[in-house]
Amino acid sequence: MSAEPGVNPADEMVVGRESAWHEGAAGAASPVKSLPLVSIPTSAAPSTGSGVPTKPSWLGMSAVEQERWVTEVAGQAKFRRKQIEKWIFQQRATSFNDMTDLPLAFRERLAAEFTIFTGQVVRHQVSKDGTEKLLIEFPPMGRHGAGRIECVLIREKQRRTICVSSQVGCGMGCVFCASGLDGVDRSLQVNEILEQMLRITGVLPVDERLSHIVMMGMGEPLANLPNVLPALEVASSDFGLGISPRRITISTVGLTKSIDRLLEVGKRYQLAISLHAPTNSLRNQIVPTNEKIGVEGIMEAAARFKRETGRRLTFEYVLLGGINDTLEAAEDLADLLAGQDALVNLIPYNPVAGLPYATPSNQAIARFRKVLEDRGVVVKCRQRKGDDIDAACGQLRRLVDKSSVGLADGN
């Protein structure tokens, strides 16, 4: 089986599933269409260094599988599953023992056979601007060792946005990105994606909740659709985090076949394309996968997504000082987007130690933006957040790995 650039062929071979991942409010199944879903059977549960499986995650099973265990294995009424779900997603329970309206014996059996969180917080940092970053280590799984990933809470006025990782590392090879410096180790499982959301929810005051989700952390989300989409299905459900699909954005470097697949199974969500350059000659230097895809192919896939969904296209553009922030690049980008209902999200580069790239000057950013706006392109310039806590994807993981910091207690 052929795979797109940076996509592990093993990730394309998805185990079939007979059941929907999540049930709707009325109890009817609401499957993610056309795409088989993946859960974590006990045999594939994370393992310790000795290879002995740990307890599987309750979040790694579908609603149907959870209900079957509750009724057929534990001998409880099926409404108990929804009680558990409410405790985890709405009441922020981190332990089955917290679920006080469940029978004690049932709580004890749940705790004996399952865990809610499989990861451990290695580092929790808080920026002076309110941004918070968690470095989470998940235990070894199969042939893969322990994997560290990052998730970020971004505060903007009334918004509470989480930036979620989809893989341990990244295989796309963007030259400026810390996430991909060591390549990709593995894709995250459904429970590991959901755990990031729950961990970030746990640092919010009790009267606040997440309002937006962006799949823009470590990894390429479209290379892990079999796990990303089920996790987002739970996050957007009434029994999950209740976040509107219109407030959920999936970012991609531009895997065209996967964009089309997303159209088939997940077009409720917003799509952001990490473009970073308007021409093949420049983009090939910045995004190596472009050599096999091409700017033209990306724009055609984006146009199909726009035509089918009616959603405005968003293009992420990281500004690298002296490389893609020139007036010529701005004019080329304006030409590329002429006549399209598109938003360009300009992102001044967040420097990464060891990489030879710099943040453009304020004057260069302003000039670039003016060219686009004068040509009728809608532009948003993202305010840099969390510089003092290494908030760019992959920075904190590399910093901690190099310093060999031991596991923290979550503080």
So which residues are the catalytic ones?
Answer: 150, 393
Nearest Cα to 329, choosing from 313, 341, 346? 346
- In whole angstroms, give the CA distance from residue 253 to residue 274: 5
Is residue 299 a contact partner of residue 333, using CB atoms and an 8 Å limit? no
Q: Where are the alpha helices (DSSP H) in 224-382?
A: 225-235, 256-265, 280-286, 290-293, 295-309, 327-336, 362-374
- In whole angstroms, give the CA distance from residue 223 to residue 251: 11
Torsion sign over Cα 324, 393, 141, 14:
negative
Per-residue burial over 148-184, b = 16 or more CB atoms within 10 Å of its CB, e = otherwise: bbbbbbbbeeeebbbbbbbbbbbbbbbbbbbbbbeeb
Look up residue 32 and give its two tokens: 């993610």
Is residue 261 a contact partner of residue 220, using CB atoms and an 8 Å limit? no
Cβ atoms < 10 Å from Cβ of 92: 14
Find where tokens 């809608």 sit: 378
